[in-house]
């Protein structure tokens, strides 16, 4: 048992080292990196589809890495918007790690990008432990999943900067309490920001798009690191 804990700690340590290098490479180019995490089917790819659709009419340049255990389906969905989208197929692993992202970025030129979106493998547990060099983890909780998730899976809610309460259009058909979900998320992470979104109906994704612009502005004001 003690051996297993040691192996896990050294895997995470090596992951953090690579994630640190990725963070430096992204900071040097002033690229905002967002790591989207949720259970399967909460709506990560749909949110990214609508985001890319909204951004293609602007001067923003973005790219997506999308992780799944099998298939290229999500990358195929995301390529339709004219931005680079690469699938990372993990072949069984339930999360992305920093070395997978580093490998994928060897095939994706970073120069000129404003935002790199990473869609993690659908899973509320394992992806929380792996730093990918992102500026922020974004947890997507769809109202169809139940409002008890922040306390049942606290790790991701503790580490996320933002929670998207998604599929808010389905609220009338569920017993989901947005007040309970937000209160529980803030119990594990008092700083967590919360936005309500839907890809199909009001309020849409406007608040999310404005949040991204806010993070880009934050990044611009912080400037490039002096050393790189």
Ligand X SMILES: Nc1nc2c(ncn2[C@@H]2O[C@H](COP(=O)(O)OP(=O)(O)OP(=O)(O)O)[C@@H](O)[C@H]2O)c(=O)[nH]1
Considering the complex, what minimum distance in angstroms separates the CB of residue 168 from ligand X? Answer: 7
Nearer to ligand X, 24 or 76 (CB): 76
Helix (H, G, I), strand (E, B) or coil at 117: strand
Give the Cα separation of 30 and 55 in Å (integer). 18
Nearer to Mg ion, 91 or 112 (CB): 91
Residue of minimal CB distance from ligand X?
122
Nearer to ligand X, 67 or 133 (CB): 67
Report which secondary-structure segment, H or E, holds 10: helix 2-28
What tokens were used for 58? 């602007």
Of residues 166, 161, 101, the one with CA closest to residue 137: 161
What tokens were used for 27? 């900071």
Handedness of CA 26, 186, 188, 146 (dihedral sign): negative
Considering the complex, what minimum distance in angstroms separates the CB of residue 188 from ligand X? Answer: 21
Q: Which one of ligand X, Mg ion, none interacts with residue 127, CB within 5 to 8 A by kind? A: none
Nearer to ligand X, 20 or 41 (CB): 41
Rule CB under 6 A: which residues touch ligand X? 38, 40-46, 74, 122, 166-167, 169-170, 198-200
Rule CB under 5 A: which residues touch Mg ion? 44-45, 74
C-alpha angle 88/140/206, rounded to 5°? 105
Q: Which one of Mg ion, ligand X, none interacts with residue 37, CB within 5 to 8 A by kind? A: none
Q: Which one of Mg ion, ligand X, none interacts with residue 199, CB within 5 to 8 A by kind? A: ligand X
């Amino acid at each position: 048992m003690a051996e297993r804990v040691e192996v896990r700690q050294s895997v995470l340590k090596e992951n953090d080292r690579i994630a640190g290098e990725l963070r430096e490479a992204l900071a040097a180019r002033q690229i905002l990196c967002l790591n989207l995490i949720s259970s399967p089917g909460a709506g990560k790819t749909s949110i990214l589809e609508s985001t890319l659709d909204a951004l293609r009419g602007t001067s923003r340049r973005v790219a997506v890495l999308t992780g799944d255990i099998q298939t290229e389906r999500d990358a195929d969905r995301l390529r339709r918007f004219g931005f680079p989208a690469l699938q990372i197929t993990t072949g069984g692993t339930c999360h992305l790690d920093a070395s997978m992202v580093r490998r994928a970025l060897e095939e994706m030129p970073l120069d000129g990008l404003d935002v790199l979106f990473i869609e993690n493998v659908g899973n509320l547990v394992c992806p929380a432990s792996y730093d990918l060099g992102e500026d922020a983890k974004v947890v997507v909780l769809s109202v169809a999943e139940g409002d008890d998730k922040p306390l049942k899976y606290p790790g991701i809610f503790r580490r996320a900067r933002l929670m998207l309460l998604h599929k808010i259009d389905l609220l009338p058909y569920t017993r989901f309490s947005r007040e309970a979900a937000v209160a529980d998320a803030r119990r594990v992470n008092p700083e967590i920001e919360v936005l309500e979104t839907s890809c199909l109906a009001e309020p849409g994704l406007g608040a999310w798009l404005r949040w991204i612009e806010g993070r880009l502005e934050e990044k611009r004001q912080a400037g490039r690191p002096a050393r790189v």
